[in-house]
Structures are given as C-alpha cells and as structure tokens.
Chain A
C-alpha cells in the first residue's frame, strides 16, 4: 500500500483528501503545516505528498524546497493542491520540484487523474 502525506491547514480539505485517497488505496498521514510535514518526512518518507501552498509556520513552497534537500527527498511525488491558481505560481512550483498541480476546488476524478499522471496509481 502506497503512503500519502496530506499537508493542509484546513481540516475539511484534509478530510476530503483522506477520503478520496483512502478510496484509491493509499495509507494517509496528515500535517497541518510545512514544518510538521518536514518532521514527518524525516521520520518516514512517504510515496506521495498532497501539498497546500498557503499555510502558517512553513508554506508549501518552502516545504517542497526543504523536502527535496532531505536524503531520499527526491523520491516522493509531490502534487500541489492550492487556491494559488495563476501560471506564475504553477511555474514556480514546477521549478521547485513539484510533479503535478491541482487547483482548488478539486474532486476525486481530478486527484485520481493527477496521481495517475505521475505514476502513483
């Protein structure tokens, strides 16, 4: 079973994402911000990260840069999932090492399609 870390400061989004991804047979862990997420990745590297952009303490962009510097941090497929929907943000995320990008709002089919796209399903 593949693992996915869901990083979002909204409990509703985390629950929606958990329900969708558990339906796709992922084992889910959650973090409320980038700092919590990076600590979890140090302990155990997930196969995938579903990542919000705007979060307190450490945002998704800084998390992604920190993750990619960790040993084994190049392994997880990172899918941004954010209300930052302009091309400049998308380009910035891709250059920082994001594998895919979901613009909120999202649904099960979008998540499934994006996870398929990066080879997680």
Chain B
C-alpha cells in the first residue's frame, strides 16, 4: 500500500466512522483488508482503495467493519462474572466469615481487564465486604502486558467491551482519548509475572482461581498437569473458573462442574488434595487490599 493510499484510507475512516489510525498501523490495515480484497476478487489493496475512492458504499462498509475489531474486554463472556457475584462471593462470604479474608488469582491476567472487572464487581459489593481483606493477584507470562495492566490505561475500544457505561463513569477517568482505571480499583490488584507451568507453591493458596482461555493453548498432557496442580492450591471449598471453550471432563477428576453453572468448577472432595496443605504457609505477603466501605 502506498503512503498516499494509506493517508487516503485514514482520512476516509476518520470521516466516515470516527476511527482514528495512527501512523504505525499500516500493517494492521494490510492484514485486515487483504481478506476483503480477496473475497471481492480484487487483485490487491491498490484496487480495493480504488473502489473506495470511487465511493463504493458497500466496500466502505466492509472496510469500516474490518478495521474496527479488538481482542480484550472487560467482563468478558459475562457469565463468569454473574457466577462471581451471585454464587461464588455469597458462598465465600458465608464460609470465610471468621477470617474475613479472600484470595483470588487471575492466572492469565493479560492486560488487566479480568482482574479489574473482579475488583469493580467487589467494589459494588462493598457494603457486604466492609472490613474484609480481599486480595486479587494477576499473573501473566508476559512482563509487557503486565506493565499495561498496572498502568490501567485503555483505549476507547477496550473500555466498551462489556463494561457497562455506568461503571465506566464510576471507575475510570478520561485522559485524552484513553481511560484509566481509578486508583482505588488499581490498588486492589497485585501483578507479577508468572509461568503457569512453573511451581505454584510460592503463590500460596486461593479461594478462587480464574484460569480462562489458557488451557486451550496447551496439549492434553499439560492441561492435565496444570489442572491437577491448580487443585492443590485451591481451598477445598474454593472455586475454579475456566473459559467457555474449556473443560475438565476427560482430563482430571480433581474438579467437578457446578450444576447449571457453565465454566464454574469446585474441587472434588472425593479426589485427593494431597500436598495442598504444604502451601498453606507460603502465602504472599498480606497487602493493603482491603475492600472496605471507606476506600
């Protein structure tokens, strides 16, 4: 694509859809538009741009749609967060009434949308959690994505994926074209780089583990291994949340699916939790992550 074509496309997208492309997005344009050119039987992007220049409305609509996609979003899949609010937290609040402490691990925190979604959901329950210490640990293999997670700054696209507008207004502040998670929400999450295939022991034990859309990247042997090791760091009355396309069925009996709760698993009491107690003394240092009414 020539620089002139790219400039033309940028202007067109901005005028017709509000989409703003920075100087360095030419690769993105080429990767997204090449399939459209192929589908339309065009020789290449030059010919596609030619059609756009001739105001081919259908082609313009196709291009606008293709350019406006993104991967990460808040409250992804919604159902796990319904489980969190309606099933997991009420049960944990009852079960941990004496300790008033809950530990949550987001095992694939990526750029932070999942742990911050949980933090916002917790903040909305602050009356029930006054005086409780709720820790959210977010880990990921990539240091780079965790840097973004820590900063908590997201594009307009990213904050619209699943985030109710009331929550955006309540828990984010606008910085130019971007949105930053409020300091009190950021303070509820600790991040650290971690390889899920490594020793889980140093992380301590958890009442809830979100491990979504990770197992799909592993082969069968690694899936089994990770699930069995997760079982050892989840409290016997704790929970595991997997992604919509993931299951324990046929892999391990260490977890059982909660009836009528898609993606929500509980440790299987009948299966062994051998070794789990050895992690009990290895909890992370207690941090100042109290979700109290006053924060």
Task: Report whether A107 and B69 are in contact in the complex, using a CB–CB cutoff of 8 Å.
Answer: yes
| Option from A11, A100, A101 in Cβ contact (under 8 Å) with B57 | A11
Task: Report whether B68 and A107 are in contact in the complex, using a CB–CB cutoff of 8 Å.
Answer: yes
Indicate the member of B70, B157, B165 with the most A CB atoms within 10 Å: B165
Bound complex: CA of A117 vs CA of B69, how far in Å?
19
Q: Given A85-B156, A86-B174, A104-B18, A19 and B165 touching (CB < 8 A)?
A: no
Task: Report whether B64 and A100 are in contact in the complex, using a CB–CB cutoff of 8 Å.
Answer: no
Cβ contacts under 8 Å, B174 to chain A: 86-87
CB-CB nearest in chain B for A20 = B65
Cβ contacts under 8 Å, A83 to chain B: 18
Main secondary structure on B side of the interface with A? helix
CB-CB nearest in chain B for A93 = B165
Task: Report whether A12 and B64 are in contact in the complex, using a CB–CB cutoff of 8 Å.
Answer: yes
The yes or no answer to A91 lying at the interface (CB within 8 A) is yes
Bound complex: CA of A103 vs CA of B154, how far in Å?
14
Bound complex: CA of A94 vs CA of B70, how far in Å?
26
A-B Cβ contacts below 8 A, count: 75
| Option from A12, A100, A105 in Cβ contact (under 8 Å) with B157 | A105
| Option from B65, B157, B164, B177 in Cβ contact (under 8 Å) with A117 | B164
Q: How many residues of B contact A (CB 8 A)?
A: 29
Indicate the member of A10, A90, A106 with the most B CB atoms within 10 Å: A106
Instruction: Tell me how far the C-beta of A82 lies from the nearest C-beta in chain B, rounded to whole angstroms.
Output: 9
Cβ contacts under 8 Å, A104 to chain B: 17-19
| Option from B18, B157, B161, B165 in Cβ contact (under 8 Å) with A90 | B165
Task: Report whether B165 and A15 are in contact in the complex, using a CB–CB cutoff of 8 Å.
Answer: no
The yes or no answer to B169 lying at the interface (CB within 8 A) is yes
Q: Which are the 9 A-B pairs with shortest beta-carbon distances?
A: A104-B18, A107-B68, A105-B19, A101-B165, A110-B160, A113-B162, A105-B18, A83-B18, A12-B16
A positions within 8 Å CB-CB of B: 10-13, 15-16, 19-20, 83, 85-87, 90-91, 94, 100-110, 113-114, 116-117
